[in-house]
Homo-oligomer: A and B are copies of this chain.
Amino acid sequence: MEAGTRQRIIEIARELFAAQGYAGTSIADITNRLGTSKAAVYYHFDNKAAILSALVEEPLAAYAHLTETQASAEDLLAAVIDTTASYLDVIEAIGNDPSARAVLSELAQKHRSDDINDAILAALAGPSPSTKRRVRAHAAYMVAKHGAIGLTTDGNLGARERTELLAAALRALDADH
């Protein structure tokens, strides 16, 4: 269970970013919980943005992986639900924080969240989608993603909730379900 200071900084940052936002959290806030000095943080990270970057690296890679294989819409939506539930803490911490988004977009990292969203929507809508299919892809994706966010408690999405949520997403995607 030896966490290492670097990992502890990331975990503390995740909690504080979720509560106060990226811009609203200072290095001093982090060290107050860490119990060390500010200089200790700067030994492990070049700057404040590097903490944010390390925090989003793994979940962003997991989302990007979802569209790298051709899967059925059902498999893709199920994967969106499961990935969202498993990285919910990070998503709540920086998912829609404008100050975090602004910093990450300047970093020009490997996986960009906007590109990932577009790829998932394109996979659900299919090639040359009509307005109807484009709207339905949006609807299904929002059920899976934001439904998982709202229904996950204590990092856990119940099996019954998962089944019902996936069924609702498929109904939103296609009237035949």
Q: Which residues of A contact B (CB under 8 A)?
A: 17-24, 93, 95-100, 102, 131-132, 135-136, 138-140, 142-143, 145-147, 150-151, 158, 160-161, 164-165, 167-169, 171-173, 175
Complex CA distance for A145 and B150, rounded to whole angstroms = 13
Interface core residue of A142, A172, A173 (most chain B CB under 10 Å):
A142
Q: Are A169 and B98 in contact (CB under 8 A)?
A: no
**Chain A contact residues: helix, strand, loop or mixed:** helix
CB distance from A37 to the nearest CB of B (A): 23
Closest to A101 in B: B21
**A95 cross-chain contacts in B, Cβ below 8 A:** 96
User: Do the beta carbons of B24 and A102 come within 8 Å of each other?
Assistant: yes
Collect the chain B residues with CB atoms within 8 Å of residue A168's CB: 135-136, 139-140, 172-173
